[in-house]
Structure formats: C-alpha cells, structure tokens
Copies of this chain bind each other. A is one copy, B any other.
Amino acid sequence: LDVPPRAEPISKLPEELRDHLTREFVHTSSVTMPAASDILLEPPMERGEMKPRSSEECSFASVSDRQKHERFFYDAVKILLEDAVFKGTSRSNKVLEWRDPIKLMQLLDLKLEDSPVTHDKLLALMKDTIQYSVKTGHPYFVNQLFSSVDPYGLIGQWLGDALNPSVYTYEVSPVFTLMEETVLSEMRKIVGFTTGDGIFCPGGSIANGYAISCARYHKLPQVKTQGLHGLPRLVLYTSADAHYSIKKMAVLQGIGSDNVCLIKTDKRGKMDVNDLQCKINETIKEGAVPFMVSATAGTTVLGAFDPITQIADICRTHKLWLHVDAAWGGGALISKKYKHLLNGIERADSVTWNPHKLLTAPQQCSTFLTRHPDILSACHSANATYLFQKDKFYDTKYDTGDKHI
C-alpha cells in the first residue's frame, strides 16, 4: 500500500484505493413516491438532470454527483431547516422528546447495514434523529452553558463542512488560516493583551491543558525533552469550584491530581486569596514548586468570578503563571455593564475563552490566548519536516499547526 506522498491523479492510485473512492455498490429498490407536500422545495428541475425518484438507486458513492445527490441534498436541507432550526427552536415545541436508552434503541434503526439504503430511508432516519435529539437552540435550553443555533454561525459551519479543511498550514487552508488569526487577534485585544498568540482548541478542557503545558514549560523548559521525571514536584492552584478539566488535564500531563491544590471559595463561590497565599506557602515549605494559578471567570455551577487582580498580585510575588479560565464568563468582556467582573485579566499569562458559550457561536469554538508571542511554538513544536518545512514559497508564519498538540 505504498501510496505516493505527493498529489497524483486518482488514476495513478493503486486499483483498490481508487475503487474505494469512486466505486458504487449499487442495488435497486422500489420506494414510494413522495407526497406533494414533501416537494415544496425542489432542486432546479430545468436542468433535466434529475433521475426519476420512483426507481431510486442506492449507493455508497463518496464523490458528490449532481444527478445522484442533488435532490437528496435539498430534501435533507429542507428537513434540517424545518424540523431542527425553525420548529426545533420554537417556544411552542418541546426541547426534548425524552425516551429511555433501551426504548430509544428500539425506536431508532441504528444498526449498520451491509448494503446501501435509499435516500428516502436516510431522510426518515434524519427526521427521527431530530425528533429524539435535544434542541440545544431552543430558547428554554439554557442549563448547559451554551445555547442558540446562531443562523450565521450555522451557515459558517456548513461552509466549513462543505470545504472539509484541515487548518494546519496556509497552503492547505489559506482562507481559514487568515480568518482564525483575525478573530484571535481581536479577542486578544478585547482581553487587553498588547502582544501574544492564540489558537482554536477542540474544547475548553484542551484549552486549559494548553495553559498547564505553557506554564510548566515557562517554569522549567527542560520538561520538553526530559519529562517530569527528575524534576521537582510541581503544584498548581485553582478553586474548589473550578472546572474539572484542570484536574483532568493535570492528570493527563503527569502533574497528578494530588498536586492540583484546591483553594477555598467564599459563600459566592469566589476564590479565597488568603487561602491561596497559605497553600502556596505550604507547598514551598514542603520543598515542592508552585508554578501556576488557574483563576475562573464564571464558575460552572454558581457563575462566580474569582478576584483576578488580587490573584495576579500573588502570582507576581511568587513568579507563577496566571491562567484565567474564562471559557464561560469571557463573554462578559464585551458587556459594558459586566466587564468589570474580569478586571485584571489583562495581567494574565493565558486565557481560555469559549465563544460557543455566552456568545452563542456554534460548538466547538474554544480558544486559548496568551500574551507570550512565542511560547506555543517553543512548547509544542515537533518540526515535522514533511508538513512544516520552512523553505516554502510563502511566509510560513501562517503555518500554525505546529503550535498545536
């Protein structure tokens, strides 16, 4: 299976691979004609390219073909817009039609088929999927820290899907690379960073993980090559009400959950800075090394904002990386009335901010922002030469993939 590493016409691929991309496993089945009400929205018929629907061929074709797929695409979009977007977000309908897992498995035909099914069967399955799914864009869906199906965000996602990009280098994703940097740069300005860097992450948990990774590297750069073995015991601090991802990512990164020091909160759920100072002193007495505080701007359950300015003062004293997990509460930065809740965030070393939460961008839209312009590259680059070589015919500062894990 020695596929050449450079682009070749599909005709030069080994036969079976080529077949995989183009072959269609066709069988014919009879399907009933659709009711008139189902054809409110028809694809352009004047082209005369549509097959009659009554003897529909089924296929596993992986390349979109106007003749085979145009009607399916438009029928599917009609269902999506009607059922999921318009009806699914109307106050007169339910957020969820609840079924127990066992019952739902009986109601839905989830079994994997050996042969292709008709487009009508697929459309029916789509309708079922919508019917029994939670309508997260419904105005009454507000308890999971995200909501809304923003119409422009939705079309933006559909655009991304239709182009199916991978955004690791400029050459493979020129437009999206520039879009990302435009948005990240604006977000850094809003945070108050005058310089820095940022990346989009698969979720707020991973964004918090980037903070731990950068903080650790900033304190002890040799961790990149040597690992934690042989280094002092590192301790990070976050409030008892912080998101569970801080602990999860500390476990993943070999810090260990015992070295995630949970700081007391006051009755409103804010971090107690006196307790923070005490715990840092204890760590130092134990001979371990404090390296990071993760403050939370908008805790998960209570929505509390930690006192960032006071925490920043402590971090300055002890040379600790200050991270602000503003995954949820970051949205308040664009509110004149509430942005004071994040006072001091401009002094942070890094920030997690998820526009898919309070700003109703589609999921996932999670960002990691830092005021250190070079640390993401320094901390994470592996310099894979086949992808991130530096002798390209354009400025490779736009190849951002090597900053990522």
Contacts and interface: CB of A to CB of B under 8 A. Distances in A.
B228 A229 contact: yes
Interface string A70-101: 10111011001100111011000001101111
Contacts of A134: 163, 165, 171-174
22 contacts: A1-B341, A3-B142, A5-B302, A7-B143, A9-B140, A13-B142, A22-B139, A62-B360, A65-B151, A73-B151, A74-B77, A80-B158, A126-B155, A157-B161, A161-B161, A166-B363, A223-B254, A224-B251, A227-B250, A227-B254, A252-B253, A301-B386
A351 B100 CA distance: 31
A32 interface: no
A146 B3 CA distance: 12
Nearest to A19: B335
A247 interface: yes
Nearest to A1: B303
A21 interface: yes
B302 A226 contact: no
A303 B224 contact: no
Interface in A390-405: 394-395, 398, 404-405
A320 interface: no
Interface stretch (A255-263, A277-285, A306-314): A255-263
B162 A85 contact: yes
A317 to B, nearest CB: 24
Number of copies: 2
A76 B251 CA distance: 44
A64 B41 contact: no
A1 B329 contact: yes
Interface in A123-158: 126, 128-130, 132-137, 139-144, 146-152, 154-155, 157-158
A332 B14 CA distance: 12
B143 A6 contact: yes
Interface stretch (A177-185, A191-199, A368-376): A177-185
Contacts of A318: none
10 nearest A-B residue pairs (beta carbon):
A227-B256, A254-B254, A202-B202, A228-B254, A84-B162, A228-B228, A7-B143, A244-B384, A157-B161, A244-B382
Contact of A64 (B22, B137, B224): B137
A40 interface: yes
Given A64-B137, A133-B173, A223-B254, 19 more contacts: A1-B298, A1-B303, A1-B305, A2-B304, A3-B142, A10-B142, A21-B148, A62-B151, A73-B155, A101-B394, A108-B178, A133-B175, A146-B164, A209-B405, A213-B252, A229-B231, A251-B380, A252-B252, A252-B405
Contact of A230 (B10, B61, B74, B233): B233
A21 to B, nearest CB: 6
